[in-house]
Amino acid sequence: MLEQFGVKLYYPDETIQHAGIIVGLGGVAGNRFKSIPKNGHGYFAQESMIQNLSAVTAACIMTPRKIYDEVDYMDETLAVAFNDVDFCLKIREKGYLIVYNPFVEFVHYESKSRGEENTPEKIKRFQGEINTFKEKWQDFLDKGDPYYNVNLSLDTEVYHMKKCRINHEK
């Protein structure tokens, strides 16, 4: 049952800012296909397909009020970062789907109003939010995002294979 959907967002330079979120990317969560050109294609053109995901950005989401109330919306201890991911994971825990819809597109001036994360206070807040998210969702992080192939790296937004060692000994 569809209960929330997220959209495709672009930076002003027409590269992808958001095409869904991979939980575990970069150690916590990150946007899929970040910086791919608007008309380019990533891994199996997934940025162009409607699909279920574990999370989408709250920069532009649609959720029925009953679900909003049922999961107690966003955790205020996650004031800036990962509150949307936490919200989506709470929705998924209730058995609802999170759907990414690439046919709804907007330009998003990410962080324009709050500025860069470069002051000691902002860095401290961000690290605290990382710690809060990991404490709350460590089991999910350990199991891995069910909508992301375990053979792909969590170090990049553009779906690269994990590095593996090949034993050439006979």
Q: What is the pLDDT of residues 126-163, one digit of tens each?
A: 899 899 999 999 999 999 999 998 888 887 766 665 55
**Residue 101: partners with Cβ closer than 8 Å, 6 or more residues away:** 5, 6, 7, 8, 50
Residue 1 is predicted with a pLDDT of 54
Rounded Cα–Cα distance for residues 126 and 121 (Å): 9
Q: pTM here? A: 0.86
Query: Quick one: which of 167, 165, 163 has its CA closest to 151?
Result: 163
pLDDT > 90 fraction of the chain, expressed in percent and rounded: 48
- At position 68, the amino acid (one-letter code) is Y
The lowest-confidence range among 68-82, 88-102, 152-166 is: 152-166
Copy the structure tokens of residue 75.
Answer: 């955790």
